[in-house]
Structure 1
Amino acid sequence: MEPQKRHWSRRLALQALYQWHISGHEIDELLAQYVEDENWDKADKDYFVDLITGSINQNKELTAVFSQHLNLASEQIDPIENSILLYATYEILHKPETPTKVVLSEAINLCKKFGSIEGYKFINGVLDKVAQQRV
C-alpha cells in the first residue's frame, strides 16, 4: 500500500476520533460521514475503517495502555492529542506490519498540524514508551 494512502487514513481517523470524542456518534454514523469526505478517495479505506473501529471498540483498553505513561489524567488531554494517542496506540499494538517509526512519525506530524504548539513532544514521549512496552 502506498504511504500516502495510509497517511490519509490516519488523518481521517484522527478527525473521526476527534468527532467521536466530542459528539459521541456511533461508528456507523462516523463511517457514513467520511465516505462523503472530499479526501476519502485519497485514503486506504479498509485501513481507515480498521483504525476507527479498533480504536473505538478498544477505547478503554488502549487508554489504559497509554495512560500508564501520562503525568496527568487522560481526561485532561486535549481531544486532538487524545485521538492521536488512541489510534496510534491501536496501530502500535495491532498493526505489527507497520514499522513503529512510521506510526510515531505520522502521529507527530499530525499533531504538529492539528494539535497544540508543544503537543507533538508529548505525543512522541508517550508513544515511544508504548512502543517500548510492546517489545
Structure 2
Amino acid sequence: MAEGQPHKRHWSRRLALQSLYQWQLAGHSADELVEQFSGDENWAKVDQDYFEELLRESINHARELTDILATYVEGSAARVGPIEKAILLYAIYEMLYKHEIPKEVVISEAVILCKKFGSDGGYKLINAVLDQVPRKPLD
C-alpha cells in the first residue's frame, strides 16, 4: 500500500458510517445496505467482510451501544447528530468487541471520519466519548 493511501479498514469504517447514517434516517435493513453499498465506487478498496461485520453488529447491538453512548454524553444521546452517532455506534462496537484493534486506532479513525463528514467540532465529542469507553473484558 502506498504511503498516505487509506487502509482497507478505513474504507470499511467509512462505508459503515454512511450505511449506519442511512439506517438511522431511512430504516433500511443491513442486507439492503450491503447490497446498496456494494455498488459504491470505492467498494474494491473496502475490507468487505469487515464492513459487513461493522454494519451488522452495530445494528444488532444498537440498543446496547446507544445506552453506552448515553452514559458518556452530557444530556441525552438523542442530542448527538446522526453522523456522529453513526461513527460512535461502529466505534463503540470496535472498542467492546474488537480487542485486536488498539483503542488509539479506533479513536483516531473515528476522529478522522468525523472531521471529514461530521459537524464542526463534532470530532471533539467523538474523542471525548471514545476516550471514556472501557474495553469490554474478554469472556
TM-score by length of 2: 0.91
Aligned to 1:26: 29
The superposition leaves residues 41-85 of structure 1 with CA deviations (integer Å, 9 ceiling, x where unpaired) of 101000000000000011001111121011021112100000001
2:132 corresponds to 1:129 = yes
Equivalent runs, 1:1-135 vs 2, <5 Å: 4-131=7-134, 134=136
Between structures 1 and 2, the one with greater helix share:
1
State the percentage of identical aligned residues. Answer: 55
The superposition leaves residues 86-126 of structure 1 with CA deviations (integer Å, 9 ceiling, x where unpaired) of 00000110100111100000000000000011110111000
**Residue 134 (structure 1) shift:** 4.0
Letter in 2 for 1:101: E
Q: 5+ residue gaps in structure 1?
A: none
SS of structure 2 residue aligned to 1:103: helix
Q: 5+ residue gaps in structure 2?
A: 1-5
Moved runs in structure 1, 4+ residues, more than 4 A?
none
SS of structure 2 residue aligned to 1:68: helix
